């Protein structure tokens, strides 16, 4: 609790800082401040909380609310002028970072048939999840990927990439997910525009999916040593089929139903060094138990409808809606249908949490694992 004219976060707990202000100490703090220094015991309880305290709040972005605004941006700005014509998701607790949750960015990008965005590269890792439209494509380091609804695509850090929609396509909208806030926090972000504005396609279309997207098989003579998956595109059809097949082999997770991670086929690890992604299936009538863990998550509803309870608050969702779960927030998911499954796509910063040894998970123990609602 701050007291007097200075911050002094005292806690009456053994082992925690609890130093009373005195005139002598306050004068001492002034002297330290003049030297660009400070007494740790005045801020220790704030900067080292007992457990993670996310400044992000749980948010649900309804597609039916956002879609018309996303489409309107087509009339208002050109992709040439905007660079990327995107409406970004701005968490009320993370506005300064332009983050959707934690250190993750998310936005909805729209392109019309025949439009092409300029090629660029950045230190942030990026992904796309296709929401609607036909004819979208991405070129990543000369590899052209054709994209359809619910396909998941990588544009890893440092790669040249550009997006477009073929002239015989339809208006396309996709979610962009990036770790821009994280890379900025680490003060390591570079951005480059391609010297020719567009890159050449140097390989057969969808060659990486053809080479690396075969379950249990890898090319005998191809080498891959980069920090991201060579399988740059994960199509919806095989993903959904895999969930259904895995569902026949497992009872699933009490917290996630049938959950499968998108992986780098070379390592079995996450698709990129900083961002992980998964697709989960909630079976007809399934209601998961609550848990919480470190790591920030953005969900997009790929199929079906239902609701999630996040830190005691209910969020009703349907296809194309996006919602976030902040780090260490309790969450549980409910499929609203008794006859059909629901699928949730997620991306997250778990690779960062895991590689830094910061991953922690906890089950909600009370009330048979279900959170009481704090708000209706
Ligand atoms: Fe980009
Ligand atoms: Fe979870």
Distance CA 72, CA 80 (A): 16
Query: Which stretch of 78-82, 149-153, 177-181, 227-231 has the lowest confidence by average pLDDT?
Result: 78-82
Chain centroid offset of residue 245 CA:
26
Q: How does DSSP classify residue 147?
A: E
The neighbour count for residue 36, using CB atoms within 10 Å, is 6
pLDDT in tens, 90-113: 999 999 999 999 999 999 999 999
pLDDT of 376 strictly over 60: no
Q: Which of 28, 16, 21 is nearest to 2 (CA)?
A: 21
Residues 301-356: tens digit of each pLDDT: 999 999 999 999 999 999 999 999 999 999 999 999 999 999 999 999 999 999 99
CA distances from 83 to 111, 128, 159, 199, 215 (A): 12, 16, 17, 16, 37
Name residues whose C-beta falls within 8 Å of residue 296's C-beta, 6 or more positions apart in sequence.
54, 56, 101, 102, 103, 104, 324, 325, 326, 327, 348, 349
Give the pLDDT score at 274.
Answer: 98
Asked whether the predicted pLDDT for residue 11 surpasses 60, the reply is yes
- Cα 17 from Cα 140, distance rounded (Å): 52
Can you give the pLDDT at residue 231? 96
Q: Which ligand has the minimum distance to the alpha carbon of residue 163?
A: 1
> How many angstroms does the Cα of residue 290 sit away from the middle of ligand 2?
8
Over residues 126-145, the pLDDT tens digits come to: 999 999 999 999 999 999 99
Q: How many Å lie between the centroid of ligand 2 and the Cα of residue 332? A: 8
Using the mean position of ligand 2's atoms as its centre, give its distance from the Cα of residue 292 in Å: 6
What is the Cα–Cα distance from 283 to 147, expressed in whole angstroms? 27
Mean pLDDT of all residues belonging to the chain: 96
Distance 62 CA to ligand 1 centre (A): 24
Question: Would the pLDDT of 3 be above 60?
Answer: no
**Å from CA of 122 to ligand 1 middle:** 6
Which residues have C-beta within 8 Å of that of residue 235, sequence separation ≥ 6? Answer: 148, 151, 209, 213
pTM equals 0.95
Mean pLDDT to the nearest integer, 177-193: 97
219-242 pLDDT, tens digit each: 999 999 999 999 999 999 999 999
> What average pLDDT does the segment 266-290 reach?
98
Report angle CA 354, 279, 277 to the nearest 5 degrees.
Answer: 35
Rounded distance between C-alpha atoms, residue 368 and residue 233, angstroms: 39
Tell me the ligand closest to 83's alpha carbon: 1
Query: Which pLDDT value is given to residue 375?
Result: 62
Q: Please give the distance, rounded to the nearest whole angstrom, from the Cα atom of residue 275 to the centre of ligand 2.
A: 15
């Amino acid at each position: 609790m701050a007291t007097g004219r200075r911050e002094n976060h005292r806690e009456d707990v053994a082992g925690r800082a609890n130093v009373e202000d005195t005139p002598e100490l306050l004068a001492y703090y002034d002297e330290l401040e003049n030297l660009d220094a400070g007494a740790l015991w005045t801020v220790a309880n704030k900067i080292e909380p007992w457990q993670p305290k996310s400044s992000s709040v749980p948010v649900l972005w309804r597609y039916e609310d956002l879609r018309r605004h996303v489409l309107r941006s087509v009339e208002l700005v050109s992709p040439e002028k905007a660079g990327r014509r995107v409406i970004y998701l701005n968490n009320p607790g993370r506005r300064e970072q332009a983050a959707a949750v934690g250190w993750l960015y998310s936005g909805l990008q729209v392109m019309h048939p025949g439009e092409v965005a300029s090629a660029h590269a950045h230190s942030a890792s990026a992904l796309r999840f296709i929401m609607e439209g036909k004819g979208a494509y991405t070129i990543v380091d000369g590899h052209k990927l054709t994209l359809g609804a619910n396909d998941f695509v990588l544009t890893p850090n440092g790669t040249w990439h550009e997006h477009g929609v073929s002239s015989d396509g339809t208006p396309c909208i996709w979610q962009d997910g990036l770790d821009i806030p994280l890379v900025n926090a680490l003060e390591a972000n570079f951005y480059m525009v391609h010297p020719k504005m567009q890159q050449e396609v140097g390989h057969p279309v969808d060659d990486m999916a053809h080479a690396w997207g075969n379950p249990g098989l890898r090319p005998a003579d191809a080498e891959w040593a980069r920090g991201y998956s060579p399988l740059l595109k994960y199509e919806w059809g095989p993903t959904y089929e895999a969930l259904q097949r895995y569902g026949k082999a497992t009872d699933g997770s009490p917290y996630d139903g049938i959950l499968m991670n998108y992986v780098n086929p070379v390592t079995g690890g996450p698709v990129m060094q900083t961002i992980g992604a998964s697709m989960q299936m909630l079976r007809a009538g399934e209601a998961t138990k609550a848990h919480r863990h470190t790591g920030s998550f953005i969900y997009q509803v790929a199929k079906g409808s239902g609701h999630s309870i996040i830190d005691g608050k209910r969020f009703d969702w349907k296809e194309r809606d996006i919602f976030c779960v902040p780090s260490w927030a309790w969450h549980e998911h409910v499929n609203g249908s008794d006859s059909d499954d629901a699928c949730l796509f997620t991306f997250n910063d778990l690779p960062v949490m895991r590689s830094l040894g910061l991953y922690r998970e906890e089950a909600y123990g009370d009330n048979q694992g279900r959170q009481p609602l704090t708000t209706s």
